[in-house]
Amino acid sequence: MDLLILGSGGRESALEWKLNQSSFVNKIYVCPGNGGTTNNLDLSLNDLNEIKSFATKNNLVTIVGPEGPLNNGIVNIFKEEKLEIFGPSKEAAQLETSKIFAKNFMKNANIPTAKFEIFSDYYDAVDYVKKYDGKVVIKADGLAAGKGVSVLDNVQDSVDYLNQLMINKTLGDAGTNVVIEQILKGEEISVFYLSDGNSVIRLSTAQDHKRIFDNDVGPNTGGMGSYSPCFFLSNDILEDIDKIAENTILNMKLSNKPFCGILYVGVIISNDKPYVLEYNVRFGDPEAQVLLPRMKSDFYPYIQASINQELDKMPELIWSNQFALCVILSSIGYPSKYPINEKISGINNVLKMEDIYVFHSGTKMNQNILLTNGGRVLGITSLNKNLKKAIKNAYNAVNLVHWDHIYFRKDVGNKALKYF
């Protein structure tokens, strides 16, 4: 079988790497890809008709990496043409693409989540945050590449953020409407599931590092590192989260929006109880870069079973008992303005290391020279049975890589060490 992976980030790099190991897969195309992926297509992810034509001509199974094409309805378009595609429909993808849809869905399905209110009027929103002394979470309704959520602790910052979203439109239409919710305290983790609209299989757990600076300081990013699994979760809590995922899939089906694909349930464990902070409708990035290296099973048959609605026939996935830890290497200035076209060196030395993997994000090749081409540039993943050694090995590899304006967090994984 030949595949088409849509996307250009580290998630898609990891998917290509994993699916290239499948005995069922012959050739993989990546659209548009990056400097580390092969068989790249020079097509925009917004050009759905061109992508559809290529998939039709080459009889490809398409795997959607990022949320953008899902929001644009690529799954609906492909299914109308009887093309095989892995991912949720535009309607089901609203679990991620609209915070308002997701919160109302959770409320109606009795899924535990933070108390919230929805606002379309700036002044009403300002009055609301003042009632809570500005100690709130504010979420832009629409897609914002992981940067549309802010946890505030005073009135001035809350009002300023509302002004950015609703008046200055710093996130465009994504911030026209906002969700304001209570702050929950606890450990944030991500649990990933695979569904065919009926059955649900838990993949594994991971913990992201969203803030740009060490000790979780600074603005949110797409993710600066992650590790898997979250070994400190009790079986009781995992079972509670499994019930949330099953309830989610059931209620999506009952609302005529059956969910097929990857469901990412972002939860916070507060007072030994999981509350859903958000849904994503695809693999996280950088969570994919720690989940897929730990997956020992051939992943492609599970993708095909999801497409064919036959997940109930599949055996349990087999996972490595090793820890995986990924450090994201970014360009200084990210998540704001950053330089590009800087020469990257040292990767060949990293690739010689045992149980170390390099996944490309914002890179490109120019005359056989690897250059930076984005805010998040590379992800370096380490595997080891000992988490401390996984952290040490990852940073040993990171320190071999160089470009002029390189930046990375130096504390990825440290928050897990308190559980030892």
Q: What does the domain layout of the chain look like in residue ranges?
A: 3-89, 116-181, 187-313, 323-419
Q: How many other β-carbons are positioned within 10 Å of the β-carbon of residue 250?
A: 14
Distance spanning both ends of the chain, measured CA to CA: 44
Query: Which residues share a beta bridge with 116?
Result: 181
Question: What's the whole-model pTM score?
Answer: 0.96
Query: Which pair of structure tokens corresponds to residue 285?
Result: 């990035």
Q: Which CATH superfamily is domain 323-419 in?
A: Phosphoribosylglycinamide synthetase, C-terminal domain (3.90.600.10)
**CATH number assigned to the domain covering 116-181:** 3.30.1490.20
Per-residue pLDDT of the chain (420 residues; tens, 9 = 90+): 999 999 999 999 999 999 999 999 999 999 999 999 999 999 999 999 999 999 999 999 999 999 999 999 999 999 999 999 999 999 999 999 999 999 999 999 999 999 999 999 999 999 999 999 999 999 999 998 777 899 999 999 999 999 999 999 999 999 999 999 999 999 999 999 999 999 999 999 999 999 999 999 998 899 999 999 999 999 999 999 999 999 999 999 999 999 999 999 999 999 999 999 999 999 999 999 999 999 999 999 999 999 999 999 999 999 999 999 999 999 999 999 999 999 999 999 999 999 999 999 999 999 999 999 999 999 999 999 999 999 999 999 999 999 999 999 999 999 999 888
* SS3 track for 149-201: EEECCCHHHHHHHHHHHHHCCCCHHHHCCEEEECCCCCEEEEEEEEEECCCEE
CATH of 187-313, picked from 3.40.50.300, 3.30.1330.40, 3.30.470.20, 3.40.50.180, is: 3.30.470.20
- Between the alpha carbon of residue 153 and those of residues 115, 372, 393, the distances in Å are 17, 36, 37
Q: Which of 293, 289, 291, 292 is nearest to 379 (CA)?
A: 289
Query: Which residues share a beta bridge with 181?
Result: 116, 137
